[in-house]
Structure 1
Amino acid sequence: MAQREEDLPLFPLGIVALPGEDVPLHLFEERYKELGARCIAEDREFGIVLLDEDGPRAIGCAMRVTEVLQRFEDGRLDVMTRGTRPFRVIEEHHRHAYASAEVEFLDDDAESPDHDAAAAVRQAYASLANQATEHEVSPGDLAAATSYDLAASVEFAAAAKQQLLEQRSENARLRQLLSLLRAALKRLEFADLARVRGASNGVVRFD
């Protein structure tokens, strides 16, 4: 039976976070200062959900504060957070200044690994990282990386990352990621590589 949380704090944003992804946040609204302070004090997760023109999505990524970068006198917080696991909102409620919800944490389906898809993704990712950042990714790092790990280090559009987050199959995520990586490689053929590399800061970015 899937694990549930009765009162997961929610942070709707215009971004998508993935498990394993590091996301810096500046918490300045009163409700989110309260959310941040509670999560830090109780060492508890909160959830980022994509908020766009269609409203908040039902599937988001749970996050944990990994470092408090700065505390301001007025309660504002600069924090580093990391994605932990995907969840589905079952019922949203308003017990606090911020929204929270009963959620179900989502596991992947049991399946045999698609070694061909994984190998193709690693090859495409290594090529993209080398061209965009001039960084050689070690075979060991690639072999240990999941689809989430690789996707988190490339700045894909929010809609594409949301699709990856909603997949309950690692093999399906790999196939989707391969399509995204190949499209990104195609775009690099027409890009100013010097500008892309200068803006990368170690992360493959696509505007």
Structure 2
Amino acid sequence: MSDRDADLPLFPLGIVALPGEEVPLHLFEERYKELGAQCIADDREFGIVLVDDDGPRSVGCAMRVTEVLQQFDDGRMDIMTRGTRPFRVVEEHHRHAYASAEVEFLDDASESLDHDAAAAVRQAYASLATQATEHDVAPADLAAASAYDLAASVEFSAEAKQQLLESRSENARLRQLLALLRSALKHLEFADLAKVRSASNGVVRFE
């Protein structure tokens, strides 16, 4: 049975975070200033969930505050957070100024890694990174990276990232990511590489 948290603080946003992804946040609303202060004080996770035209999604990513970048006198703060693990909302609560929920943390299915798919993803990612950022990726870094790790460094659409987050199979994520990377490479064939590189700041951006 998956682990659960009976009262995980929730931060609904128009973005999707992935495990391992670093996400900077500016907390200015009173409820989220309270959420941030509580999570920092208790060294506990909170959850980012995507909210779009379809409403809030049931699967999100737990986050941990890794650094307080700046704190203001009125309680506003700039923080750096990092994704830890996916979860599914079981029941939402309204016990605090911010939303929270009972959640179950999601495990991957037990399976043998599809090495052919992994190799194809690494090759496509290396090609994309070289073309879009002019930086080569070390083979050792690629070999150690999961589908989440690689996807977190490419700015795909929220829907594409949500599909990766909801998948409970690393092999399925690799196949999804390979299709996304190949589409991004095709996009580069018609893009102004100079503009792509100047805007990348080390992150490959594709919608």
Which interval holds the TM-score relative to the shorter structure?
over 0.9
Q: Distance in 1 between matches of 2:170 and 2:128?
A: 21
**Whole-Å Cα distance in 2 between the matches of residues 111 and 130 of structure 1?**
31
Partner of 1:176: 176
Matches within 5 A, 1:41-56: 41-56=41-56
Secondary structure of the residue aligned to 2:17 is coil
- 1:140 partnered with 2:143: no
Counterpart amino acid of residue 181 in structure 1:
L
How far 1:161 sits from its partner (Å)?
A: 0.1
- Partner of 1:33: helix, strand, or coil? helix
Cα offset for 1:27? Answer: 0.3
Taking the aligned partners of 2:77 and 2:52, their CA distance within structure 1 comes to: 24
Question: Are 1:193 and 2:193 an aligned pair?
Answer: yes
Q: Cα offset for 1:76?
A: 0.3
Structure 2 unmatched ranges of 5 or more: none
2:116 corresponds in structure 1 to 116
Distance in 1 (alpha carbons) for counterparts of 2:49 and 2:205: 21
Identify the residue that residue 32 of structure 1 maps to in structure 2. Answer: 32
Partner of 1:130: 130
In 1: Cα distance, 2:51 partner to 2:169 partner: 24
User: Are 1:82 and 2:64 an aligned pair?
Assistant: no
Aligned mates of 1:64, 1:147 — CA distance in 2:
20
Given residue 89 of structure 1, which amino acid in structure 2 is its aligned partner? V
What letter corresponds to residue 91 of structure 1 in structure 2?
E
> What percent identity do the matched residue pairs reach?
84
1:68-104 residue CA offsets vs partner (Å, 9 max, x unmatched): 0000000001000000000000000100000000000
Q: Distance in 1 between matches of 2:96 and 2:163?
A: 30
Write the letter of the residue equivalent to 1:25: L
Using the alignment, how far apart are the partners of 2:6 and 2:14 within structure 1?
A: 24
Tell me what 1:18 maps to. Answer: 18
In 2, Cα distance between the equivalents of 1:205 and 1:163?
Answer: 17
Scaled by the length of structure 1, the TM-score of the pair is 0.99
CA shift for structure 1 position 194: 0.2
Moved over 4 A (4+): none
Unmatched 5+ residue regions in structure 1? none
What residue is the counterpart of 2:2 in the other structure? 2
Residues 60-75 of structure 1: pairs in structure 2 closer than 5 A: 60-75=60-75
| Residue 10 of structure 1: how far off its partner (Å) | 0.1
- Aligned-residue RMSD, C-alpha: 0.4
Rounded Cα–Cα distance in structure 1 between residues aligned with 2:183 and 2:206: 11
Give the AA of the match of 2:22: D
For the residues of structure 2 that align with 1:19 and 1:117, how far apart are their CA atoms? 20
CA distance in 2, matches of 1:200, 1:206: 10
Q: Which amino acid aligns with 1:118?
A: A
Deviation at residue 206 of structure 1 after TM alignment: 1.8
1:37, distance to aligned residue in structure 2 (A)? 0.3
Count of matched residue pairs = 207
